[in-house]
Every structure is written in structure tokens, then in C-alpha cells.
């Protein structure tokens, strides 16, 4: 996030809500998971998602602009959106699952972007410092803090709303240009179809008996959302219609996951 709103840089505006979400996550009692859950979540988020997006794009290719198609593929290969997963219905198993997914994405993202763009992105020291200050440090402080507060979930959701607003403002600004109603509609259908396919496909792990229903719900929660990182998008700089799928991706994944996990308690999984 490198844009500015008035006197405030949105990259700094997001630091406080990010820290709030990860701090509240650190206050949750730890719950272990089977090793296969971590592996399958990383696979689903970083490899299966790209494949499912390619299938969806191919199915809708007749009605899609080439730039929208390429933008969707780039969006599917971006980094995980851990704060959205944690702000919804995080339990003691979610933070470590989110962390492992992020670390493994640092290995898969360069490879996928090398195939798509011919250049592999690498995070700078500044990016890693930001992740440490806004995620790792608050999480560790939460672990060392007092017992869980009753309003932790509410404050995390409010922080997520701020982050969603900031992300949408930035993306809409970068995607400005001449847009046709048909492009907007097809991009919206593409994103909705792709996200729904990614979320629904997590049930296949239950059918194959690789995961139980509770582990599959956690995989669905962590592997579905995507976030746009500057160090990733810098290798394939795109504007206008290329960013249209990402503009819809931010609110669509929040709406989809909040609908799926509405009034759902994942805090007491039989692990």
C-alpha cells in the first residue's frame, strides 16, 4: 500500500488495525493440528487456487477481456490474506496455520510468477520488517499478555473493516480508467465463480477422508482469501482492467467467508 489519503499514508494507517488483529490472535489458547492440515492448506492456497482460477477463466474466456483474464490469474497467485482469516472466526489453531501458509507462500509465489511473468518477485527487507512489526511482534505480545478479553472478536472485526476500506480505496484508485458495464459484470462473475469454487473444493478433502469436517473448515477459512502485496505485483505491473478482478476480490472474499462462517463457533474443535 503506497498510496496516500490527504496527510496520511494508507500503508501506515493499516499498521494499527493489523497489529490489533494479530495481538488478539495471540491471546487465544493454542490448539495443535495434524501435519497434513498444514500441508494441504498450503497446497490449496498456493497451487490449487491458481489451477481452479485457470479453469474458471477458461470456462468464461468467451465473455472476458484478455486483460481481465490476466488480472485474475495474477490475483490468484498473490499472497494469502491472513488478517481476514484471523478476524473472522479464528481459534487457537488458526494463527499457526496462517503463519505456515504465509511462509510457504514465499516459496511458491516466486515460482508461479516466474511462469506467468518471466520474473520471480522477492520481498525486500523493508517488507519483512513491516510483517514482523505488524504481525509477528503483536502476536508474540498477545501470547505473553493477559487472558482473552471478551471483546477481542469485535475489535478484530472492526479492524478488518478498516483494512477492507483502505484496500478498496487503493485498488479503485489504481484501477481507474474507462470501464464498460460488460467488463465490470464479467469480472464480478469471474471472481465470484472462482472464489466459490475454491471454497467449495475444500469439501473434497472430506470426501477423500484426508481431513475431517472441522479441519476442512479451517482450510477453507485460511486458504480462500488472497491479499495484494506490492513486492509481488511489482514484477507484473498492471493498471486499469488488469486490476479489476483484484478490486472485486477484496470485498467478495470477505462477504463469502463471513457468510459461510456466520454465527459459527470454531473455538472448540475436537482436535
pLDDT surpassing 50 at residue 120: yes
Mean pLDDT of 25-48: 89
Per-residue confidence at 21, pLDDT binned at 50, 70, 90?
A: very high
d(CA 166, CA 14): 7
Domain edges within the chain: 9-259
HSE-up (13 A, CA, CB side) for residue 243: 24
d(CA 156, CA 189): 29
DSSP code of residue 148: P
223-257 pLDDT, tens digit per residue, is 888 887 666 666 676 667 777 888 888 888 888 88
Mean pLDDT of the chain, nearest integer: 80
Assess if CATH 1.20.1250 describes domain 9-259: no
Closest of 1, 232, 236, 2 to residue 121, by C-alpha = 232
Note the pLDDT of residue 238: 65
d(CA 76, CA 32): 28
Per-residue confidence at 147, pLDDT binned at 50, 70, 90?
A: low
Mean pLDDT of 177-195: 76
Amino acid at each position: 500500500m503506497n498510496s496516500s489519503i490527504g496527510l496520511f499514508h494508507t500503508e501506515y494507517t493499516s499498521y494499527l488495525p493489523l497489529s490489533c488483529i494479530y495481538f488478539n490472535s495471540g491471546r487465544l489458547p493454542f490448539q495443535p493440528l495434524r501435519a497434513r492440515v498444514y500441508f494441504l492448506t498450503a497446497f490449496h492456497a498456493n497451487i490449487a487456487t491458481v489451477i481452479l482460477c485457470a479453469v474458471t477463466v477458461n470456462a468464461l474466456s468467451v465473455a472476458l477481456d484478455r486483460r481481465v483474464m490476466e488480472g485474475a490469474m495474477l490475483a490468484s497467485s498473490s499472497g494469502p490474506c491472513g488478517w481476514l482469516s484471523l478476524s473472522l472466526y479464528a481459534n487457537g489453531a488458526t494463527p499457526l496455520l496462517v503463519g505456515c501458509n504465509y511462509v510457504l507462500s514465499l516459496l511458491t509465489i516466486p515460482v508461479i510468477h516466474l511462469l506467468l511473468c518471466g520474473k520471480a518477485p522477492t520481498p525486500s527487507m523493508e517488507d519483512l520488517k513491516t510483517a514482523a512489526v505488524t504481525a509477528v511482534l503483536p502476536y508474540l505480545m498477545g501470547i505473553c499478555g493477559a487472558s482473552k478479553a471478551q471483546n477481542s472478536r469485535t475489535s478484530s472485526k472492526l479492524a478488518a473493516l478498516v483494512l477492507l476500506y483502505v484496500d478498496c480505496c487503493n485498488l479503485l484508485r489504481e484501477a481507474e480508467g474507462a470501464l464498460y458495464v460488460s467488463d465490470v459484470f464479467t469480472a464480478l462473475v469471474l471472481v465470484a465463480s472462482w472464489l466459490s469454487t475454491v471454497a467449495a473444493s475444500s469439501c473434497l478433502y472430506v470426501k477423500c477422508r484426508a481431513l475431517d469436517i472441522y479441519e476442512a473448515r479451517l482450510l477453507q477459512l485460511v486458504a480462500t482469501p488472497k491479499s495484494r502485496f506490492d513486492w509481488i505485483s511489482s514484477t507484473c505491473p498492471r493498471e486499469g482492467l488488469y486490476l479489476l478482478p483484484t478490486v472485486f476480490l477484496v470485498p467478495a472474499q470477505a462477504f463469502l467467508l463471513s457468510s459461510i462462517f456466520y454465527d459459527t463457533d470454531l473455538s472448540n474443535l475436537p482436535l
